[in-house]
Amino acid sequence: MKRAQYETRGPVPQDVIHAVDFDLPAPASDELRVRVVAAAINPSDVLTLTGDYGQLPPLPAIGGNEGVGRVELIGEGVRGFSAGQLVLLPVGCGTWSTHVQAPAAQFVPLPEGADPRQLAMLAINPPTALLMLRQFVDLQPGEWVIQNAANSAVGGYLIELAKLRGLKTVNVVRRDSAIEQMGDAPGDVLVVDGEDLAQRVAQATGKARIRLGIDAVGGMATERLARCVASGGTLVNYGMMSGEPCQISAGSLVFRDVRLVGFWLARWFRGASHAEQAEVYGELAGLIAKGQLQARIAATFTVSEIQQAVAEAARGGRSGKVLVVPGANE
C-alpha cells in the first residue's frame, strides 16, 4: 500500500509531498476498506500544499480530497455494500492513496457503467457549479449567466449544467490561448477579459439582462464581471485565481445594487442534510453515467509519481484535470 504524505508546506508544492508505504489493520465492524481507482488533484489541493488555502489540515497529512474506489473488505457489522462495488470516497479523507478505510456510512454507492475517472471528479467541482447555478438566483430557462475562468474544471461543468437547465452562458477567459482550450464546448458566448468586457458582452447578448455572475478570479476581474451583471443582480465569488482579493466599485455595489456573495462547498456540506447531499450527488452521478456531464482529463499519474502529478497540476495552461490512478503493483 502507498499513499502521498506531507509533513510540511512550502512554495513549491511538489517538493513537500512524497509517496510512503503504509499498512492498515483489519476493518472495524462498521468500516469498509476500499481500493482507490482514481482521485483528482484540484487547485485547492495545490494551495493546501503551499499553505495558501483558507482551511489547512494538521500535519502530517495525506493529500487528496475526492475520488472513487471499489470495496475490498467489509466490516462484519456493515450492510448494504458488496465486494467490488464502486463508491465515492469520503470528502477530505486523503484520497491520493492506494487504499482508504473509513466507516461505511461515509461512502456513497455509485452507478455502474459510468467512467470511474469521470466519477472521480464528482465530489467537488460539479456540485460547486450546480449549487452556484441554483442557490442564489432563481433563473428561468432562456436567461443568461456570465462566468470568468470558463476554461477551468468548474467552468466546464457550469456550461454543461446551464445548458441542461435551458440557460445561456457568457464565458470569459483570461488569455487568447485559453480559447483553444475550450474546444467544442465554448457555451453560447466566449470572450477574453478586458476593460471593455461589459460593452462586448452587451453586444454579444443583445443587451440581455444578466442576473447572475460567477467569479473565480477576484481582483479587478470581479469589478469587470459586476459591470456585466444587471442592476440588482448577484455576483458569486468562489475563488481567487488572480491572487488578489475581490475588488468592486461603489458604482456597482451601491448605485447599481449588485450583490457580492461568496460560495465555499465545505460550508454547504456543514449545513446540508444527508438527504440534501444525496440528492445533489445522485443528480450529478446520473448525468455522468448518461454521458451528459464530462470533464477533460489532462494526465494521469500513479501514487508513486505524486511529485510529477502535483507539478503538472500546478502548471498553468493545462487543458483538463490531473488524476492520481494507483498502479496495479502499488
Beta bridge partners of 5: 18, 62
C-alpha–C-alpha distance, residues 320 and 89, integer Å:
21
**Residues near 260 by beta carbon (within 8 Å), at least 6 away in sequence:** 222, 226, 235, 237, 246, 248, 253
- In the block, cell 470533464 appears at 295
CB 307 within 8 A of CB 283: no
C-alpha–C-alpha distance, residues 326 and 122, integer Å:
18
Query: What are the grid coordinates assigned to 116, written together?
Result: 470511474
What are φ and ψ of residue 46, in 5° steps? -65, -45
Query: What are the grid coordinates assigned to 163, written together?
Result: 445548458
In order, the DSSP letters of 169-220 are: EEEEESSTHHHHHTTT---SEEEE--TTHHHHHHHHHTS--EEEEEESS-BH
Dihedral of CA 236/149/133/53: which sign?
A: negative
Which residues are catalytic, by number?
Answer: 53
What are φ and ψ of residue 21, in 5° steps? -80, 150
Query: Cβ–Cβ contacts within 10 Å for residue 151, how many?
Result: 27
